[in-house]
Structure 1
Amino acid sequence: MAPGYIVGATRERVGNAEAVRELFEDIVGRHRFDELAERILPGYVEHDPLIRSLDGGLVGFWKRLAAEFGDLEVTVRNLVPDNDRVMLFVTWRGRSRAGALHTAELFRLEGGRVAEHWDVVDRSELVELGIGPGEAGQPAGPGLVGPHTELEEANARLVRGAYRTVFSEHRLDLAEEYYHRHYAHHNLRTDAIPSGLDACKAFVAENLAMFPDLTATVEHVVADGDRVMVFVLWRGTMTGAGRGGGPTGRELVMRTGDHFRIAGGKVAELWEVVDYLALRQAGMPTP
Structure 2
Amino acid sequence: MAHSKVPKVKLYNGVEMPIFGLGTWKSKPGEVTQAVKDAIDVGYRHIDCAHVYGNEQEVGQGIGQKIKEGVCTREELFITSKLWNTFHRPDLVLPACKQTLKDLGLEYLDLYLIHWPVGYKEGESKFPADADGNTLFSEVDYVDTWPEMEKLVESGLVKSIGISNFNSEQIERVLKVAKIKPAVLQVECHPYLNQKKLMAFCKERKIAITAYSPLGSPDRPWAKPEDPQLLDDKKLKEIAERLKRSPAQILIRYQIERGNIVIPKSVTKSRIAENFDVFDFELSKEDVEHLDTFDCNGRICPILPAKNHTHYPFNIEY
TM-score by length of 1: 0.28
Q: Which has the higher helix share?
A: 2
Q: Which has the higher strand share?
A: 1
TM-score by length of 2: 0.26
Question: Relative CO higher for 1 or 2, CA cutoff 8 Å, sep ≥ 6?
Answer: 2
